[in-house]
Structures are given as structure tokens and as C-alpha cells.
Amino acid sequence: MAHVVLKDLIKTYGSFKAVNEVSLTVNDGEFVALVGPSGCGKTTTLNLIAGLIPITSGDILIGDRVVNELDPKDRDIAMVFQNYALYPQKSVYMNLAFPLQMRKLPKDEIDKKVREAARVLDMTQLLERKPRELSGGQQQRVALGRALVRDPAVFLMDEPLSNLDAKLRVQMRSEIKRFHQDLKATIVYVTHDQLEAVTMADRMAVMNGGYLQQYDSPAQVFAHPANMFVASFVGSPAMSLIPLQASTANGGIVLTSAEGWSLALSQPNARKVQRATSGKVVLGARHSTIKLHKSAVAGAIPAKAYTVEPTGDVTFVQAFLSGAIVNISVPPTIAVAPDEQIWLEFDQERIHLFDGETEMALQAN
Amino acid sequence: MTIVAGKTGARQRLRPLLRKIWEHRADYAYVLPAIAVMLIVIAYPIYYTIELSFFNTPPGLQLRDKIFIGVDNYTAILTSPVFWKVTSNTLIWTLASTFIAFVLGFGCALALHRDFIGRGVLRAILIIPWVISAVAASYIWKWIYHSDFGIIGAVLVGLGLADRPPNFIDSVSTVLPSLIVVNIWREFPFAMIMMMAGLQTVPDQLLRAAKVDGANAWQRFWHVTFPHLRNVSTVTILLLAVANFNSFIIPWIMTGGGPSNASHIWITHIYELAFGRQRWGVASAYSVLLFFILMTLGYFYVRALSGNDRKDGSA
């Protein structure tokens, strides 16, 4: 296993910048998820690491080697693809053996490695089958096996679970996590599903528009999103982002809505808002940090329930505040009806404040 | 008792079937004209050809006065040296044309699959032989090959490679290969288009996977591209083979089967027997034989196609 370093990586197609000065380090044995919406540059970044497309500028290091100019086969990587990319005419055995045959390993060694990989992934009984005779989950396991058999320095995974049904995806998620723990493999994993990134990765690199937005552990990204994009992308349902206007009143700072209500900020929050470039401030709150009251409470803001979605152990209520959708989760014991008058109370300790101009998170110091 | 039970059982099975037909009576009415036309223009000629093949039709007699001679036409054909000459010509013509046109077309498809400047123009130019009229092409090639005025002869003589222009289509030994060249020239674009379409369906991800697995360009072709094209190749080859078996225009216009049957293939021979010499019976017997050969090819064609479906269905 080895570490991977990206230094100021740029990929342009004509005037379009697909990947923009991305720099990050994947430590030896670390599981890093590249996550972001479609077209954010995550798959391009992975293909750059793999060497499937040439870089425009910057450096890629695998281990201590600069691999910018190397062919994929010389980079000591293995890749798992979204559509599995198994060779349909070859048996599972031959699929696993293929990368070893291409490296001209002796036959008995190939056999040993293939059987070992099959044993690790619990698919010895499938070796003689053709890919089309396997279920989606089995096919993905073969694809993992084909990567594993090579014993590469880095595993690159391109949305490996996207083609599986929801139930199988959850199962394979834990299998891949287990795979990582057992092998202590360095894995770069691309996904558009923030939940996959949060649940599997040691660190997640959130990308948007070709730029790296934040690179940190899932807990940190969740608790301290660097900007409004990350805040709205990570977590489900998404963090509610309410545009407000900051002003000074009675020596403190209040956030005022165009709807007329206002929210007096606590001291630490007021300090954050003082650092904003203008009076435009966006209040962010996760669904679980907003308290829902069915009657007026001091400090709570009146709103109307818009939709109510019971999920069993928790019920999600949506309301509009200042034109923004606000998600609130309540225990199923609290019955809320659509269009019912409700009052929302924000937890000052757990709200997020963003600069309305730069969209960056406001820090106290 | 049992008979009655059997009868009602059969009737019980029959009744839903009849009801189904009745419910779909409009559908049957819609396809009826098509079926009628098919029966008139396809089924009846096939029947009539088979019937004629058992009769002698001397040129002096009217067709309705034909003389029944059993399988004599077939025995006459199978024992005639011309039959074997024509059959060997047909096989050489079909196999050589099909194989070379396919390989050439596949090669062009692979070359054109890469992106390069002028690709669109080149592709358009390469398709020309296939889209121009076969009759026009035959006349053009007849002049190109001409021993007195042909351009090939003139160039060869001009370059000092030959003392006098070679006889391409007036010589027994060179006429068939010369015609095959024209045929290949005419139909390789078809193979090219088919294979180009096939190449576009090779999953990019599979080629990338092979690249990461360490396969070089040739290995990627051999392990990924070529297996993926197996079905489209089979279909292309079968279609070419059927077309070549049925070829008529090029040999008929360029040589009419000559000199001394050296370029006669089945269809031109049948045509000459029927419409040149009015030997309808023999020509019909030939046609029946050809019919069975083509049916066999057709069987493999359908099997290749449905094999394709099966794989797609389960993948």
C-alpha cells in the first residue's frame, strides 16, 4: 500500500475547467471518498489518478513516485467501475486471472492468487460462471476481486455501488468497508451519494464545480461545513439555509427576516456575524437541532407546516421561512398536520452562520 | 363416454381459441391484404418453380404443354460438368468476396473508429462504392479493365511493368478474380458500416478496465473488442454471403458468365438457362437447389440474431 498526493491538479477541456487546482493527500491505508454532485469533477479526478486521461498540469504522486506520465498499468493501481466492467465472455476465474496474465505471471502463481482472492471474497463456488450468470452484487464482488488479486498500491473505485438496488447497496457498503479494514488498503472512492461517503470514508473530499470544497473527516465535515455548498450537500435531509439580514439592536446583533420576524444572536454567534463582509447572513440549521412547538414560545419563530413525512421512527416536517425550505425532525408521537401553525426554535449553540456574499462559514476567531 | 368427454374437452380447448380469434378479427383483417400479396408474389412463384422443376419445357412448346419428366432435371444438373464448374465458381466467388470484403471492411472500421482530422470525409468517400448503382459500377470497371482502352493496362504499360495491357476479363484464368475484386470493392463499405456500428457498442469502461489491468492495444482488441463484435461479425458475414450467393449484376454486365463459363455463377447461369435459352424446367430445378442452400444460410442467420437477443436479455 502507498499514499497518494495530488498537487495543484488541473484538467481542462478547451476553456472548461473540469478539475481546478485540487490538492490533497491520501495517507497510506486511508479510505478517502471523493464526493459531490454530477459534473463536480470527482470522476475526472479519479481518472487522472488512474492515468486514463492525461493531466493538464499539477502533479500526482503514488507512493513517492511522480506518475504524471505513466500508463495506467505502470501506476500500480487497480480500479473498480460503476458497471463492474467484467469481461462478459470470460469466466469469473478468467476475469480474476486477466490482470495477472497481462503481467505474465507464471500459471501456478496466477491460480494461487485467483483462488486466494476468491476465498477472501467468498466466491469460490462462482469461479466457473460467466458474469451474466451472476447477480449484481456478485458481479461487483468479482470486480473487487479483480482489483484485489493484483495487490495494488491503491484501489480506485468509481461509484461501485450505484448500479445495485438499495438493499444490496447497504450490504455491499459494509463489505467494502470490511474489505478496507482487513486489507488496510489505500482506497480512493468516488460517489455522488454523501451517505456512502459519510458511512465509509476516513476522510471525505467534497467537490463542486471542479473545486475541492472541503477535505476532512465525515464528522468534521458534518459538524463544521466550510461553506454553504458543503452544508447543503452533506446530511439528509439537507441543512436548512435561511437568508437573513444582520443588524445591531440594543447593543446586540439580531438577524431579521424579510417576513418581519427576527432572531437575537448569542454572544459567540454575534462575534461570527461581525466578521461577515456585508449584512447578508445565512442561517444554517440541521433538522435535528430545530425544536418544533405547537404553541407560541419566547424566541420561537412562527411558521406554517408545509408537508409532513412520517418515516417510522422520526417524522420530517417541512416549512418555509424567509422563502427557504426548513426541515425539522420530530418524534412520531408529535402529530403535525399540513398547514398547521407551528413555532420553530433554533439552538444557538448548534446553528451555522454563513457569509451571504462569499457563502463561506463564519468563524468566531 | 370417454369419446364424448374427449370431444367436449377438445371443444372446450377450441372455444377460447376461436373466441380469441374473433376478438382480434380486426387485427386479422388489417394484415389480410399483406398476406394475400405475399401469397401471390412469393408463395405461388415458389410453388410454381418447384412444379416446373419436374417438367421438360422444350423451347418450341408453350409452357402449358410442358412434359412431366420426374427428377430428370435434377439428375441432368448434378451430372453436368457445367454444374460443377458453376458451383465451384459460385463457392470461390462467395467465399473470397465475403471473407476479403469483411476483413477489409473491419480494418477500415477500426481505422475510422479513432478520431482524426478528415475522418468524416474519408468515411464518406469509402461509402461511395456501396451507394452508387451496381450497373454503373460494372460498366465503369469494364472500361477500367478493358484490354485496349483500360486505365489499369495503360498505367502498367506506361510504368513499364507490362509489355502490353493484361487481359483481365477476357481470359479464363483471370476473369473470376477480376470480378471478385470489383465485388469486394463494391461491398466492403457495407461490412465497414456494420462493424463501425458494432465498435460503437463496445463499452468504454471495459476498455478502460483492460487498460488498468495492463492490456496493450492489441490485447484490448483481442480480449475486449473482438469478442464483443462476435455477433455483429456473424450477421455481417452471413448477410454478405447471402448477397454474394445471389450476385447477378456485376458478373452479368461485365462478362455475361464468359469466357466459356469461367465467370458464371449460379444466378447468372440460372438466368441464362431460363431467359436466354428458355429451359424453364432446368432453370427451376437449379433455383430449387439454390433455395435450399440459401434457406440453410438463413437458418444460421436467424440463429445468430436470436442468440444475440438471448445474451442481451440475460445480461
Query: pLDDT by residue (tens digit) across A319-342?
Result: 998 889 999 999 998 888 999 999
CA distance B211 to chain A (A): 7
Kind of pairing, strands A211-216 and A57-62? unpaired
- DSSP letter assigned to residue B80: -
Nearest to A81 among B205, B219, B228 (CB): B205
CB-based contact A85 B209, cutoff 8 Å: yes
Give B-chain residues touching A99 at CB under 8 angstroms.
212-214
Find out whether the peptide bond into B16 is cis, omega within 30 degrees of 0: no
Instruction: Please give the model's pTM, rounded to 2 decimal places.
Output: 0.76
pLDDT in the model for residue B7: 54
Nearest to A72 among B203, B211, B227 (CB): B211
CB-based contact B212 A77, cutoff 8 Å: yes
| 3-state SS, residue A113 | helix
A vs B, Cβ pairs < 8 A, gives 61
| 3-state SS, residue A34 | strand
Residues of chain A with CATH 3.40.50.300: 4-229
Q: Mean of the pLDDT values across residues A180-203?
A: 91
Residues of chain A with CATH 2.40.50.140: 240-355
Give A-chain residues touching B211 at CB under 8 angstroms.
52, 71-73
What is the value of ipTM here, to two decimals?
0.78
Q: Mean of the pLDDT values across residues B191-206?
A: 92
**Is the CB of A335 inside 8 Å of chain B's CB atoms?**
no
CA distance B124 to chain A (A): 28
Q: Nearest-CA residue of chain A relative to B223?
A: A87
CB-based contact A132 B228, cutoff 8 Å: no
**Is the CB of A97 inside 8 Å of chain B's CB atoms?**
no
**Is the CB of A146 inside 8 Å of chain B's CB atoms?**
yes
Place of cell 462478362: B255
Nearest to A52 among B208, B213, B214 (CB): B208
Assigned CATH for A4-229: 3.40.50.300
Assigned CATH for A240-355: 2.40.50.140
Give B-chain residues touching A90 at CB under 8 angstroms.
223
CA B176 to chain centroid, in Å, comes to 18
d(CA A259, CA A141): 54
Give B-chain residues touching A88 at CB under 8 angstroms.
227-228, 315
pLDDT in tens, B131-170: 999 999 999 999 998 888 888 888 888 888 878 878 888 8
The answer to whether residues B243 and B237 touch, using CB atoms and an 8 Å cutoff, is no
pLDDT in tens, A95-139: 999 999 998 899 999 999 999 888 888 888 989 999 999 988 889
pLDDT value at B300 more than 90:
no
Residues 6+ apart with CB under 8 A from B75: none
- DSSP letter assigned to residue B297: H
Q: Which domains does chain B have, with CATH numbers?
A: 2-42 (no CATH), 81-134+173-314 (1.10.3720.10)
> Torsion over CA of A272, A277, A281 and A282, rounded to 10 degrees?
-90
Nearest to B212 among A50, A82, A133 (CB): A50
